[in-house]
A and B are shown apart, each in its own frame.
Chain A
Amino acid sequence: MRFVDEYRDARTARALAARIAELCEPGRRYTFMEVCGGHTHTIYKHGVEDHLPPNVNLVHGPGCPVCVIPMGRVDDAIAIAREPDVIMTSFGDMMRVPGGEGSFLDAKAAGADIRMVYSPLDALRIARQNPGRRVVFMAIGFETTAPSTAMTVLRAAAEGLANFSVFCNHVMIIPAIKAILDSPDLRLDGFIGPGHVSTVIGCRPYAFIAEEHGKPLVCCGFEPLDVLQSIHMLLRQLAEGRAEVENQYTRVVPWEGNGRALEAIGKVMELRPYFEWRGLGFISHSALRLRDAYAAHDAERIFQVPGVRVADPKACQCGEVLKGVLKPWECKVFGTACTPETPIGTCMVSSEGACAAYYNFGRFTRSRAKEATTA
């Protein structure tokens, strides 16, 4: 595939790896966080870590939209799905995410009409085709998917599709990065910045990371060579004593972002005072809800939403994994009680979740991985 295959070349990867190794000061340990779950997926799928010197350590960030949804929100969505005449629509990633009382799949098996869609526009079409039913779209994701939801709501409003609504769970990346930076558990040397979020918000919003926290961030593409090149750019900044926001993914990410997408979000959505994140707890001004003008398409106003808080299962350590404090295999239930087939925590569900990526592509056994990290 064009714009993909070129960035997977193994020989170029080895050459980059050699340059990365040259930049590492002996005896110094470097820890970079890949904010985005898409990067986690790439890193494990292509074995990017195998190309890195042992003193370069990658930790996974909170940028997996499925993973950060708290269990209570899943229960809320299922409660909506059980209302009369409702068709709940959702991205496939959400289907197996466990709530306090089971997942979408469980609710579907028990009789709720829950359908998988590729795009919110598919949900809109279902609403058009089923005028007698109430179609709800389970909207999740960072700034990458929020514009699509916003555009779909605008379209529904324009068409007067009164039977279409959105259960809005959109979250924002900057407050999450702030929460990570304020967390005392983690010492980071820099960030592999989210690529596709940045197509929307651009590179400017990350400036505080460099200016206030003195840490470099490189917006990074999703192929293995992109990740290696970004690590090289981070190491070069550190070697030269710089802390700046740089853009490796210039073929897709404009420095200013996507004005139209930001406009669509701003028109349809507004900040929530606070929102609960799995693992990170309540973060103020970190999520979006529909504006009053679009209340007719807001599932939270149309339906009675229980809004119950559900604590994560005790055994599950998704919170620590999302903050980068624990590696997936260090979780007590990883690969034993918690697997992609029967996930306990969200990180094991989505293909962008660190645990699922590691489980599916990890070539280490759990014990060998432990040896490797403690060596």
Chain B
Amino acid sequence: MENGFLLEQKTLEGDLNSDTSHKSSVDFLMNWFRKRSIFVLAYGTGCGAIEMPPTFTSRYDAERLGIRGAATPRQADVIIVSGYCSYKTLRRIIRTYEQMSNPKYILALGSCTVNGGMYWDSYNTIKKLEDYLPVDMYVNGCMPRPESILEGFIALQKEIGEGKASSWQKYEENYEFYRKNQEAVLGEKVEPSYAADWYLYDGGL
């Protein structure tokens, strides 16, 4: 009988290997590769970023599921929007997301990304992330513990394995809808100035 770590691993991965809905063996193989090597952009956007280090380090060790960090947006598959998302942050998230290469997924943490959370009446925090960017998986909680984040990842992996997670296609198809919503809160100029511009020329510190 398994117990401890092995039992946890088995419970987590339980139905991950049992997906049968693939169209062909090539599809199956592609999806299997994708779901088992998820590179997560090392980018924290809110208070929820504090739960990410324990998720990826020895205690919860996400790498046993094939989930690990990536240094730059161009190498990453998943961006975690961890917590409340102010207008200023949203600009940076949009730029980062558009820099990532396909296939790309968004995992949104915390109640703030779901409905505003405790910032529901704040003048510079958006309330529904999916109006501005396509979200694959919400993990609720304030803040979600690393266990919940891992479960969110497993659910995302399952969707990827079945070929259902296709938010980046949704973003390309409905780009006008997203762009309209982005412009409604951020103004005409959605993309931020580069940090160097801001620091050296745009008034600076």
Interaction A to B? no
A residues lining the B interface (CB < 8 Å): none
B residues lining the A interface (CB < 8 Å): none
